[in-house]
Amino acid sequence: MDDPPILTEDELRSAVRQVFKRAQTDWEFRQLCLSDPAAAIRQVSGKSLPSGFALQFTDTRESVG
């Protein structure tokens, strides 16, 4: 299986916006974002992060309870 192409800077910005939007309504996808950000980006864009590029998403929702 071939590796997916690498994201450009503009594609990365677009992919992050897509991730944020989808994570607002898809709980399983939100969990993927938190546990494997590169996989979340790959899922929305079909492309990989550049080698050595670190990305982390955090959940900043206030706790309810």
Q: Answer whether residue 50 is part of any domain.
A: no
* 3-state secondary structure at position 60: coil
Percent composition of the chain: helix, strand, coil (DSSP 3-state, to 5): 50, 5, 45
Give the pLDDT score at 63: 56
Q: What pLDDT, in 10s, does the model give residues 7-65?
A: 999 999 999 999 999 999 999 999 999 999 999 999 999 999 988 999 999 998 765 55
Question: What DSSP character marks residue 8?
Answer: P
The number of domains in the chain is 1
Q: Answer whether residue 34 is part of any domain.
A: yes
Query: Domain range spanning residue 30?
Result: 9-45
Q: Answer whether residue 51 is part of any domain.
A: no
Q: Answer whether residue 15 is part of any domain.
A: yes
Q: Answer whether residue 56 is part of any domain.
A: no
Predicted structure pTM score: 0.83
Q: Answer whether residue 64 is part of any domain.
A: no
